[in-house]
């Protein structure tokens, strides 16, 4: 498993977290499960997670130009654009 960093721009805030997964889609799915459980975004948690998972399932993660292992995605929630990034992150050497 690899370490992935998820960065989300939503509602005027920037949210960053990390998860371990086999691939970028699994990383987003794992992150969405955590969002649903922890309710990090209050009543918007479940709809937000659902919208993000739909983007991942539809393979709409776009590799960022000129970068390796960094993807972006967008989705809408209540008319607001949500911008997210998934970054395969190398752990710090031991």
Q: Is residue 79 part of a domain?
A: yes
Q: Is residue 94 part of a domain?
A: no
Q: What share of the chain in percent tops pLDDT 70?
A: 91
Q: Is residue 33 part of a domain?
A: yes
Total domains in the fold of the chain: 1
Q: Is residue 12 part of a domain?
A: yes
Q: Is residue 26 part of a domain?
A: yes
Q: Is residue 75 part of a domain?
A: yes
pLDDT tens-digit profile of 18-49? Answer: 999 999 989 988 988 888 888 777 888 888 88
Q: Is residue 32 part of a domain?
A: yes
Q: Is residue 83 part of a domain?
A: yes
Q: Domain span at residue 34? A: 2-89
Binned at pLDDT 50, 70 and 90, residue 59 comes out as: low
48 vs 68: which has the higher pLDDT? 68
Q: Is the pLDDT of residue 66 over 90?
A: yes
Three-state secondary structure string covering the chain: CEEEEEEEEECCEEEEEEEEECCHHHHHHHHHHHHHHHCCCHHHHHHHHHHHHHHHHCCCCEECCCCCCEEEEEEEECCEEEEEEEEEECCCCC
35 vs 14: which has the higher pLDDT? 14
């Amino acid at each position: 498993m690899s370490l992935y960093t998820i960065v989300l721009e939503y509602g005027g805030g920037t949210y960053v977290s990390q998860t371990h997964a086999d691939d970028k889609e699994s990383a987003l799915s794992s992150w969405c499960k955590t969002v649903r459980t922890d309710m990090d975004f209050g009543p918007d948690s479940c709809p937000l997670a659902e919208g993000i998972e739909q983007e991942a399932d539809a393979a709409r993660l776009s590799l960022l130009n000129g970068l390796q292992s960094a993807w972006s995605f967008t989705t809408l929630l209540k008319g607001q654009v949500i911008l997210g990034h998934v970054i395969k992150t190398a752990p710090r050497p031991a």
